[in-house]
Amino acid sequence: MLKLIDVFWAYILIGILILVGRFIRQRIWVVRSLYIPSSVVAGIIALLLGSGAFGTIVKVLIPHLL
């Protein structure tokens, strides 16, 4: 069962990802010109940092740490 602190950290992580997505959207002209929202950019970053993409790369490169 989820504790309140887990929900708190999930909201903090979502907020940080949206801020990073907004920063990337402001800096990269192509993303801004295609009208891609900051939340979509944040979702793409979250998917890339998750266990499916970045986690797999880490497991392959450094298997003895995991």
Q: What does the pLDDT look like over 1-44, one tens digit per residue?
A: 778 988 899 899 999 999 999 999 999 999 999 999 999 999 99
**Structure confidence at residue 42 (pLDDT):** 95
Q: CB-side exposure of 6: number of CA atoms within 13 Å?
A: 3
* pTM given for the model: 0.77
Buried b (16+ CB within 10 A) or exposed e, 18-46: beebeebbeeeeebeeeebebeebbeebe
